[in-house]
Amino acid sequence: MQCFSFIKAMMVLFNFLIFLCGVALLAVGIWVSVDGPSFLKIFGPLSSSAMQFVNVGYFLIAAGAVLFALGFLGCYGAHTENKCALMMFFFILLVIFIAEVAAAVVALVYTTMAEHLLTLLVVPAIKKDYGSQKDFSQVWNTTMEGLKCCGFNNYTDFEDSPYYFKQNFTFPPYCCFDNVNGTSMETCTKEKAKDNIVQGCFIQLLHDIRTNAVTVGGVAAGIGGLELAAMIVSMYLYCNLK
């Protein structure tokens, strides 16, 4: 009985924290969606780029809603010993866990397919918007500077882009990065870009992920372990309730 009471108390505390996190994410998501300019003033230009690339407001609202529901169901179900709430908590966690495993399998098995699909989507966007849309260009500049890469595949992604024509048929300086000196050439011509052979950002990102595979795998395993533990605890409480 003491073990049951302890697990029940931990379940309530753990899910109350999840509930608070969900409320916080919902509040920030609603704030970003309703009053974006204030958010941008506080968090600076990088947040503007991120909001153009992915709609942060809606993402935060969705994540907050899921955490809010999970936290409420887990906390309420454990505190009131409500079997229905505990079962719903278990099934929501199970769906999330299965989705994460499926995403990991797809990422491992279909990396090449994902590359081809993203190429069909990203490269035309670069050719259309890079150099004409400030926020889109800033996202790519930040990415290329951080990963020391050029375009999605390579420098050819920028051919026929607005930047290419505005800059007298030259490429972004990141495409002529000198690994020896650690600098980028201001005028990056086609000949210089060919000689430097800077890798595309997708390949560089995959390389960085594989280099830090232990860390990434550890984080993923930790999250999966917490989800499994929460499901086991919810089932333990469910089976031991009168």
The residue that leads in pLDDT, 191 or 110, is 191
pLDDT at residue 54, as a whole number:
46
- 198 CB-near residues (< 8 Å, 6+ apart): 148, 149, 150, 154, 155, 174, 175, 176, 177
CA atoms within 13 A on the CB side of 211: 6
The predicted model scores a pTM of 0.60
pLDDT at residue 52, as a whole number:
47
Report pLDDT digits (tens) over 140-190. 888 888 888 898 888 899 988 999 998 888 898 888 876 555 555 567 888
pLDDT at residue 48, as a whole number:
47
Closest CA to 163 of 136, 194, 195: 136
pLDDT at residue 182, as a whole number:
56
pLDDT at residue 42, as a whole number:
52
Please provide the average confidence, as pLDDT, over all residues in the chain: 79
Average pLDDT over every residue of 127-139: 86
